[in-house]
Structure 1
Amino acid sequence: MDALLYIAPGVIITGCVLGIVQVIRRALRTRTLWAHGQVAEGRCLNTYMKTSGGDKTAVHSTLHHVYEFTSREGERFRFDEAGGDSTVVAGDHVVVRYLAERPQWATALRPARGRLIVGTGVVVAFLGVIAAGCVLFAVSAHSAM
């Protein structure tokens, strides 16, 4: 039973660390696309909302866009992106940035470095506070024994 006091916080801390790594990797990828990506004209094929929560929890909706573009090599790619501009609807033309070696990482988000830094920082801080709370819980549980 005492092991549970260490296993549960360990699992939560592991999840937080993995989340932090993923958020930072996504931010670095987006920054690289904005700075060094090739530019192509893309088209919005579809938009849809992904909803989570409900019942006794708050409902959260995220707007997704499905885009298509043709690379300089003539290959056609489609990608799904969350959190895009809500004024973009199916049929609209957009600027797509992609890396020639990884066109599946394309983005149609407009460059907003400040927003990217702040958003990444908030998520990293939030997950860091949760991880620190788990560490404090495990240390206090150990010292109480």
Structure 2
Amino acid sequence: MEALFYILPGIFVVVGIFGVVRTLRRSSEISRAWRHGRTAEARCLRSYTTTSGGGGDTSVTTTLHHVYEFTTAEGRAVRFDEPNGPSTVVEGDFVTVYYLPDRPERATAHRPARGKLAAGTGCMLVFFGVFIAFSIIFMVMAHVIFAETDGLLP
């Protein structure tokens, strides 16, 4: 039973670290594409929504996705799916995409907004930091409780 109080928060810490790495990686990719990447005209092939959350007592979150297709400067056709796009873009619209020549499949159709990207990344890092800190504090408190009671809980 005692191992559960170490294993579960440990898994939460690993998930939090994975979230931090993923957030920083995507933020860096978008920033580099805006700063050093190429642009191309892309066509919106499809838009759709996904929902998450259980409903009832919990909130439901809806995310708008767009599927874009463009041709790189080298003539390669690339199709990518991007979440959280503007609701004003519909099927058939043309948009400017930003991409790095070595990874065009990681393109973005978001307009350059460095401040917004930094704020969003910062909020996600704070969220994951609190999540990791809470998990570690929980693990430490469990250790203290088990050390004081010699593993015997009332």
TM-score of Structure 1 vs Structure 2, range by shorter chain:
over 0.9
Match of residue 35 from structure 1: 35
Structure 2 runs not aligned, ≥5 long = 148-154
Distance in 2 between residues matched to 1:113 and 1:55, nearest whole Å: 34
1:69-120 CA distance string (max 9 Å, x none) = 1111111111100011110111111001111111111111101111111111
TM superposition shift of 1:30 = 0.5
Runs of 4+ in 1 over 2 A off after TM superposition: 54-57
Under a length normalisation based on structure 2, what TM-score does the superposition of the two structures give?
Answer: 0.90
Match of residue 21 from structure 2: 21
- SS of corresponding position for 2:89: coil
Distance in 2 between residues matched to 1:84 and 1:75, nearest whole Å: 23
Distance in 2 between residues matched to 1:46 and 1:127, nearest whole Å: 32
Structure 1 runs not aligned, ≥5 long = none
Distance in 1 between residues matched to 2:25 and 2:47, nearest whole Å: 25
TM superposition shift of 1:55 = 3.7
Match of residue 67 from structure 1: 68
Do the aligned partners of residues 48 and 125 (structure 1) sit closer, same or farther apart at CA in structure 2, a change above 3 Å counting? same
- SS of corresponding position for 2:23: helix
Distance in 2 between residues matched to 1:127 and 1:102, nearest whole Å: 27
Match of residue 52 from structure 1: 52
Match of residue 96 from structure 2: 95
- SS of corresponding position for 1:49: strand
Size of the alignment, in residue pairs? 145
Tell me the amino acid that sits aligned with residue 36 of structure 1. Answer: H
- SS of corresponding position for 2:35: helix
Tell me the amino acid that sits aligned with residue 102 of structure 1. Answer: R
Match of residue 140 from structure 1: 141
For the pair shown, which has the larger CA radius of gyration, 1 or 2?
A: 2
Tell me the amino acid that sits aligned with residue 95 of structure 2. Answer: V
Identity of aligned residues (%): 51
Under a length normalisation based on structure 1, what TM-score does the superposition of the two structures give?
Answer: 0.96
How do residues 69-84 of structure 1 correspond to structure 2 at under 5 angstroms? 69-84=70-85
TM superposition shift of 1:58 = 1.3
Match of residue 125 from structure 1: 126
